[in-house]
Structures are given as C-alpha cells and as structure tokens.
C-alpha cells in the first residue's frame, strides 16, 4: 500500500475520545421518521448487485433499503454485544500493554451505547416491530450464533475475534462514507445522524483493534495459529462474501409486506446466492478501498493474506 493508514498511539486515541465523546442519543426521538427517504445507501445492500433489483419499482427499492437498514442495525447491535465481551476479557489481561488496556473501558462503554442507539433507532422507525431489543428481520443460524459467542469470549486464544471487530468496524465506516456521499438530506435524518455519530467512535476503535492485533497475533504459533487462520478464512468466505442468508431475510420481509412481488422470490434467492462472486460487491464488503487498515495488516501476515484467495 503506497500510503499506509495513519496509526494513532494509545495516548492519541485517548485524546480523540475526550474530544469526540458523545453521551446522548444523536437524533431526536420525538421527531417522526421520514419514510419518503432512504435509510441507507442502496449500494450497501446485496440485492442492489442483482439483475432483479432493476425490475423493482422505485417504491419497492426504497422500502428494501429501509428494511435492510433495520436488519443491519440488528446485526450491528448483536456483534457489538459480542465485542463487549471480547474487550472485557482483554481489559483484564497482562498480554495487552497497559497503555492500551487504559483505553478499553471507554471502548466497552461506546459499544454498549451503540447497542442502545441502534435499538432506539429501529424503535423510532418501527415501534411495533421493536417493542423489545430483539431481532425481528435477521435470522442467524444457531451454529453461527454459538461460534461467534464462543470466539468473542476467548480473544487471547483466538485473536481472530479481534480481526472480526476490525473488519466490521471498518465496514461501519464504509456505511457512513457511502451514506454521506449521497445528495444532501437524501438519507433520512435519524439514520444519517446515527451513522455520523458511529463513525466518529469507529475512527478510534479501528485504531485500538490495530494495536490489539499487533499485541496478540504474532504470539500465536503451531496448531492454534493454523486454527485461527482457518476461522478467518471461514468468516471471510461465509459471512462477508456469502450474504444470502441475511439478504434473503430482508427479501422475505419485503415480500411479506408486498405480496405482489412473490413471483420474484425464486430469482431473488438465486441471484443473491451468486452476488458474492461479483467484484463490485466484494469491493464494497471487504477490500483495500473499504477496509484500508485490515488490508494494511493483512499484508504483514502472509498466512492471512493467502487465506483471502
């Protein structure tokens, strides 16, 4: 990489937190959500990269982006709950440098605050669907849920969990970048405010992840290193580049609301199963453009770089 990303020191991370900490909800919950606007940039959804997308009416495309945003918020809240467990373990370990441990309590608090923001945002948009902090659209397979929870609680043995944190937090930055690139006021105000607030925190979170990977990954050896590489490959291949499960959940919900689209369901499912092969979709999900810090680090660990093939 010709221009490697900036690497902040733990002291700079702490200073950034002091300057940019936001303790309140970033949007006004008393103001009604505007359903005439996008909740998220369409190019962040898997269906956008299929041929069937062009056959949907503008109204159907709009509603799909809205349901996708609600689904993404469910997923982000779930991952951030797991990340809180990861960070708690690391904050108590002497394998993590003391200066780095000092910034982890704020990181944990940020993750808890984020979870509340995503659920509050979904309740503003759909109070009946989100009467409790429970996923209503996205379906996560029990084995996938169990594996993620198991990894999240063992980051010292399986620092691939920290790689997951970095990957998803950089993807959060990509969400904010793509939404900010739309025309002014094109993204619904509540959602735009949440994305902007989130990216301010993620700016330092990805820096902390970088330090944690530097502290934990080089110490792996033998079978445990090989297992972490295998798990990394599994997550990249099954979670990032095979998005059909979550995307089909959104499509099913769209068709439940709009039964006239049911004849398209077979094609939607078929095309979503192939979307992970498309270069444009992969660039959006995980690439040097969308995940610059992760790809910078991958270049330093050949075993992980080769796992991307």
Q: Could you report the per-residue pLDDT of 241-258, keeping only the tens digit for each?
A: 777 778 999 999 999 999
Dihedral sign of CA atoms 174, 177, 182, 185 in order: positive
In degrees rounded to 5, what are phi and psi of residue 241? -100, 5
CA distances from 39 to 108, 185, 203 (A): 27, 11, 22
CA distance 67 to 89: 34
Going from the C-alpha of 196 to that of each of 47, 182, 199, 208, the distances in angstroms are 24, 13, 5, 19
Q: Is the predicted pLDDT of residue 1 greater than 60, yes or no?
A: no
CB 255 within 8 A of CB 262: yes
Q: How far apart are CA 279 and CA 257, in angstroms?
A: 31
- pTM beyond 0.85: the answer is yes
Q: For the segment 27-57, what is each residue's pLDDT rounded down to a tens digit? A: 999 999 999 999 999 999 999 999 999 999 9
Average pLDDT, the chain: 92
- Domains in the chain, start-ordered, CATH in brackets? 45-307 (1.10.620.20)
Question: Rounded to an integer, what distance in angstroms lies between the CA atom of residue 299 and that of residue 133?
Answer: 39
Determine the length of the chain: 309
């Amino acid at each position: 990489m010709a221009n490697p990303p900036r690497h902040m020191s733990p002291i700079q991370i702490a200073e950034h937190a002091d300057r940019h900490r936001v303790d309140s909800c970033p949007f006004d919950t008393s103001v009604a959500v505007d359903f005439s606007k996008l909740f998220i940039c369409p190019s962040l959804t898997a269906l956008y990269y299929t041929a069937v997308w062009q056959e949907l009416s503008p109204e159907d495309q709009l509603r799909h982006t809205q349901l996708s945003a609600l689904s993404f918020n469910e997923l982000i809240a779930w991952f951030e709950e797991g990340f809180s467990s990861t960070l708690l373990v690391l904050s108590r370990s002497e394998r993590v440098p003391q200066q780095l441990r000092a910034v982890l309590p704020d990181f944990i608090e940020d993750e808890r605050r984020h979870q509340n923001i995503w659920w509050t945002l979904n309740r503003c948009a759909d109070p009946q669907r989100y009467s409790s902090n429970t996923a209503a659209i996205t379906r996560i397979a029990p084995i996938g849920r169990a594996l993620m929870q198991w990894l999240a609680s063992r980051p010292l043995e399986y620092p691939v969990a920290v790689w997951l944190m970095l990957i998803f937090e950089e993807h959060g930055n990509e969400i904010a970048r793509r939404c900010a690139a739309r025309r002014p006021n094109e993204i619904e105000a509540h959602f735009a405010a949440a994305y902007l607030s989130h990216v301010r925190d993620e700016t330092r979170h990805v820096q902390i992840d970088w330090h944690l990977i530097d502290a934990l990954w080089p110490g792996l050896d033998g079978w445990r290193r090989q297992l972490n590489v295998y798990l990394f490959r599994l997550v990249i291949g099954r979670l990032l580049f095979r998005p059909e499960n979550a995307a089909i959940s959104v499509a099913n919900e769209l068709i439940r609301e709009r039964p006239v689209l049911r004849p398209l369901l077979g094609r939607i499912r078929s095309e979503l199963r192939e979307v992970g092969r498309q270069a444009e979709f992969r660039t959006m999900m995980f690439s040097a453009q969308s995940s610059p810090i992760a790809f910078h680090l991958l270049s330093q660990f050949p075993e992980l770089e080769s796992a991307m093939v």
